[in-house]
Structures are given as structure tokens and as C-alpha cells.
Amino acid sequence: MIDDPWFYAVAIPAVLLCGISKGGFAGGLGIIAVPLMALVVPPLQAAGILLPILIFMDALGVWKYRHAWDRRDMRLLLLGAIAGIALGTATAQIVNENHIRLMVGVIALIFALNHWISRGESAPPKPRDKAKATLWGTISGFTSFVSHAGGPPLQVYMLPLKLDKTVYVGTSVVFFMVVNWAKLVPYAWLGQLAPGNLWTAALLLPLAPAGMYLGFWLHDIIPQKPFFRIVYILVFLVGLKLIWDGTTALLGN
């Protein structure tokens, strides 16, 4: 188990922020949890510690939103995600996490800017597209496997559908519940679920419901239009953060 106090100084706010974001806003800033924890421990170890916590959060989220999620594209999104996880597992020894952060950051930034420039808020909902659902599901599964950064690619597909805010969050929660369970076997195979990581996760686990329930509360009190404005702002900020992390790390190397 990790006993470095500096680790907990970043891990505690990271887990709380992850819970708030996951419970109320379908991801958003929660994906900075791994980069925050990676300030003290290796990124892969941070991802391994977070996985059991995320699975516990998923269980709370699925119970909260069990009657409010969209089933129509779930099969295609999940088939794509499983393919993405398989790709992540196959390339785990060669993939550069910083390239992934840069890629996801650029996707998130372009997506948010395009929404604002094209005045997407007033545009009609985009039609469902099987090919796009599979593609973005695959990218989400891959980036989720590498650093729990599957949120922005999923949002690229889901946000333009303009679902009800609760259905939007519920669909995201159900999607990542399956994705995170699917990551258990490859994470264990790669040694990311070592006893020390699991004990550290258990120590941080009580923070998960605190963050999730605060996220539920924020979700319930924020009206739909401001809610989605906040989500797009979060996507934009996440994009900037990931671009910064990826670029500075690559330049540092």
C-alpha cells in the first residue's frame, strides 16, 4: 500500500472530483484523476488504483440512473468499446500515454469549439449513426483502457443527440460500467491490480460515495440548458488540460 503523504494529497481531491463529475456530468473533469495521481506514481499504477474505485462509482451511478438511460445505441457503442479495449491490451507495451492524452485533448477541444462556432446549442439533434457509434465507442474503449480517458470520445457521439440531461448521464454511466468491468482482466494480466494497488484503492474507496452523491445533487438542481453548457465547458477544459499534459511530457522527453 502507498504510504507517501504527497500521493494522498493529490489522490483525495482526484477521487472526489472524479465522483462529482461521474455522478453529475457524465465524466467531464473526472478524467484528470489519472494525470493528478501520476504526479506522484507512474500513470499505469494510478490507472490500476483507480479502476476498482471507478467500478464502485459505476454501481452507485447505475442504481441512481437505472430507469433513465438510452438503449438504442448501447450495443454498438459497447461492441466498439470492447474492440478498443482489446486494441489497448495488444499495444499496452508500446503505446505512449502522452500521445493518447494529446489525441484525446485535440478531439475534445475541436469538438467543443465546433459546437460553439456552429452554434450547436440551437441546432436540431443529430441523427443516430451506427458507423459513428461504433467508431467513437472504439476510440472511447481504447482511451479508457490507457488512462481512463474515455469520456470525450463518447461525448463526441452522444452530446449532438441532445438527449435529456438525465438520460445522457445515465447512458454514460451504464456504458462505462461495462467498459470498466471489461478492463479488469487485462489490467490484472498487466499487473495493474497488484495487492499494494488494491489496498490503496480500498483506503480511498470511502471517498467515492461522497463524490458521487455530491454529483447527483448538482445534477438534480442544475436546469437542462445550463447543464449542457457546463458539460461543453468541461469538455473544453479537459481538452486543454490533456493537450498541456501530453505536450509538456513529450517535449520533456
- Answer yes or no: is pLDDT of 96 > 90: no
Note the pLDDT tens digit of each residue in 202-236: 999 999 999 999 999 989 999 888 888 887 888 78
Going by pLDDT thresholds of 50, 70 and 90, the confidence category of residue 250 is confident
- Answer yes or no: is pLDDT of 84 > 90: yes
Answer whether 105's CB lies under 8 Å from 243's CB.
yes
Q: By CB neighbour count within 10 A (0-12 exposed, 13-18 middle, 19+ buried), where does 119 fall?
A: exposed
Taking alpha carbons only, the member of 203, 206, 211, 208 closest to residue 8 is 203
Query: Cell digits for 18?
Result: 472524479
The dihedral sign for the CA sequence 164, 128, 243, 200: positive
Question: Where do the structural domains in the chain lie, given as residue ranges?
Answer: 5-252
Rounded CA-CA distance 177/137 in Å is 14
pLDDT of amino acid 170: 93
Rounded CA-CA distance 221/42 in Å is 37
pTM of the model: 0.85
